[in-house]
Amino acid sequence: MNLRAQLKLSTLLAAGFACGLPALAQAEELSVVYRESPYVSAVMEAAKAEFEAEHPGDTIELNAISSSARDYYTKVSLMNQSASTAPDIIYEDGFQITADAAAGYLEPLDERLSGWDEWGQFSQIAVQNGKSFVDGKVYGIPLGTDTQAIWYNKDLLEKAGVGADWQPKTWQDILDAAAKVKENLPGVDPINIYVTKAGNEASTMRGLMNLISGTPGGLSATLFDPETQKWIVGSKGFRDALAFLKTAYDNGYLVSDTDLQDSSFQNVLVEQRVPEGKVAMFIDGNWIWARWIEGGTAPWAAWNETLGMAKIPTQNGQGNGFTSMSGGWTIAMSPNTEDKDLAFDFMTTVANFENSLTYAIRAGSIGVRKDVIADETYLETNPTAGFFSSLVEVTNFRPALEIYPQVSSLIQETMEAVTVGGDSVEDAAGRFDRQLTRLAGSSNVEKAN
């Protein structure tokens, strides 16, 4: 059949199809905006095909933006400023949900979600990443998440007398292990925790928050209380975490001052120091192994045998015993969408089992659906998936309010002051409290209990 005949046939078929279904609702077009990457595109295209097959006549217009995460956020914010350019469906970083919901760019989903039979599959903890910290409503359906742990070199811990199968139960256990490494393995840095301004957001999230989320009361007793909507000053947990970091620094358990002040150290650590066996323990995310696989930025075949993972313990082993910090992307809807039920249909297609599985496997992220994290293909393709998925039940999310970037900067400054800066915990924490009060306004802070 030549091309012309083919065209003629399809036109005829389409015409006949349209005439045969007079009751068909007016065809709708939904625009979807997302940040271009192989795994997001794969999921979106699969969802589009599936959705269009189920809703004949309606179309999905995919708008892939190829840019850095920060530029992507700026571009979507600009599109959202006018109802005529606002996309119907947005691939949204969970970290931006609070700010965007407050700005009126997102539609709350709670009612529709309660009618979705698959909603029960989603981990209630991971769902927090799609919620606004201000009103507690769900604005985004989570697609994947990430968690953090203490990666450690089994050989080094074995030689240091800690043992190759290591799981600290308290902060003190971490310090004890570091002390043994320091004593028995000269030339090896016991543990890496990001504690300076050079570490940027990694210092805030992977350094301090993994600690304060493990103090009694967690983040809501040490940083921001979602109940009262107030930032916390004068918290003991916050001071204890700083004291932990100060102890680690003062005893020489952390990497050198020069490394701590080097903004490119995050790459040096993962791509050189760890494979060279120069660092015994380091607190980092589940995604880090992707650098060592073939085709990664620093292939290292032995990583899976050499490294072990330990959960980050709470301060004294209280509560669930362990903690972690998470982020991750979601799928959200604009309030300007004309047919919200239809848009919601597309969102549930994106977040269904198959697509969530594709996303988790190809993005190397942690699944947020119970059926995904139990899936065999998922567990087989990612050797760390089982371990890191188990952390979702104890994880926490950053209070991403409007002033969060400044609070994060303040936290980094405070951590740097008690370590490299040599300040006392009380001085640095007092400065933190005063500065936080000024940033948030005195009516938006409260004293810790």
Partner 1 sequence: MAQGASGTGQGPAAVLMRIVPLAPATLMIVAFFLVPIIWAIYTSMTNLGLSGYAARNPSFIGFENYYYLFTDPRTWAALGRTAVFVGLSVAGQNIVGFCIAYVRQMATPAIQSLASVIVITAWVVPEVVAGFLWYTFLRGDESGMNQIFDIFGFAHQQWLLTAPLAAVIVINIWRGCAFSMLVYSAALQDVSSEVLEAAEIDGAGRMQSIFGVILPIIRPVIAINVVLTTLNTLGVFGIIWITTAGGPGTRSETLPLLMYNQAYDFGLIGYGSSIAVLLLGFGVIASLIYVRLFKVGEARNG
Q: Which amino acid is present at 206? A: R
Distance CA(158)–CA(161), nearest Å, equals 5
Among 229, 316, 435, 444, binds partner 1 (CB under 8 A): 435
Nearest to 329 by CA among 131, 160, 24, 94: 94
Nearest to 194 by CA among 212, 178, 208, 179: 208
The reply to whether 196 sits near partner 1 by the rule CB under 8 A is yes
**By C-beta, is 69 or 103 nearer to partner 1?**
103
**By C-beta, is 205 or 310 nearer to partner 1?**
205
**By C-beta, is 138 or 428 nearer to partner 1?**
428
Measured from the CB of residue 18, what is the shortest distance to partner 1 in angstroms? 49
Measured from the CB of residue 230, what is the shortest distance to partner 1 in angstroms? 16
**By C-beta, is 104 or 386 nearer to partner 1?**
104
Distance CA(195)–CA(182), nearest Å, equals 19
Distance CA(252)–CA(442), nearest Å, equals 38
**By C-beta, is 67 or 256 nearer to partner 1?**
256
Among 170, 298, 431, 446, binds partner 1 (CB under 8 A): 431
CB distance 30 to 89 below 8 Å: yes
**By C-beta, is 16 or 422 nearer to partner 1?**
422
Q: Which amino acid is present at 364? A: G
Among 302, 434, 447, 449, binds partner 1 (CB under 8 A): 434
**By C-beta, is 318 or 424 nearer to partner 1?**
424
The reply to whether 200 sits near partner 1 by the rule CB under 8 A is no
Alpha carbon distances (Å) from 327 to 120, 131, 200, 231, 266? 20, 12, 16, 20, 19
**By C-beta, is 26 or 264 nearer to partner 1?**
264
Which residues neighbour 169 within 8 Å (Cβ) at sequence distance 6 or greater? 313, 317, 321
Please, what sign has the CA dihedral across residues 389, 390, 391, 394? positive
Measured from the CB of residue 423, what is the shortest distance to partner 1 in angstroms? 5
Residues 357-396, mask of contacts with partner 1 (x by CB under 8 A): ----------------------------------------
β-bridge mates for residue 329, sequence order:
93
Nearest to 176 by CA among 381, 75, 184: 184
Residues 251-280, mask of contacts with partner 1 (x by CB under 8 A): -----xxx--x-------------------
Distance CA(76)–CA(96), nearest Å, equals 11
The reply to whether 42 sits near partner 1 by the rule CB under 8 A is no
Residue with tokens 């794969």: 42
For the chain, the C-alpha Rg in angstroms (whole number) is 24
Which H or E run contains 326? strand 322-326
Window 400 to 429, contacts with partner 1 (CB under 8 A): 402-403, 405-406, 409-410, 413, 416-423, 428
The reply to whether 311 sits near partner 1 by the rule CB under 8 A is no
CB distance 366 to 387 below 8 Å: no
Distance CA(338)–CA(59), nearest Å, equals 14
Which listed range, 23-31, 34-42, 268-276, 431-439, lies at the site for partner 1 (CB under 8 A)? Answer: 431-439
**By C-beta, is 114 or 258 nearer to partner 1?**
258
Instruction: Give the residues lining the site for partner 1 (CB under 8 A).
Output: 196-197, 256-258, 261, 402-403, 405-406, 409-410, 413, 416-423, 428, 430-431, 434-435, 438-439
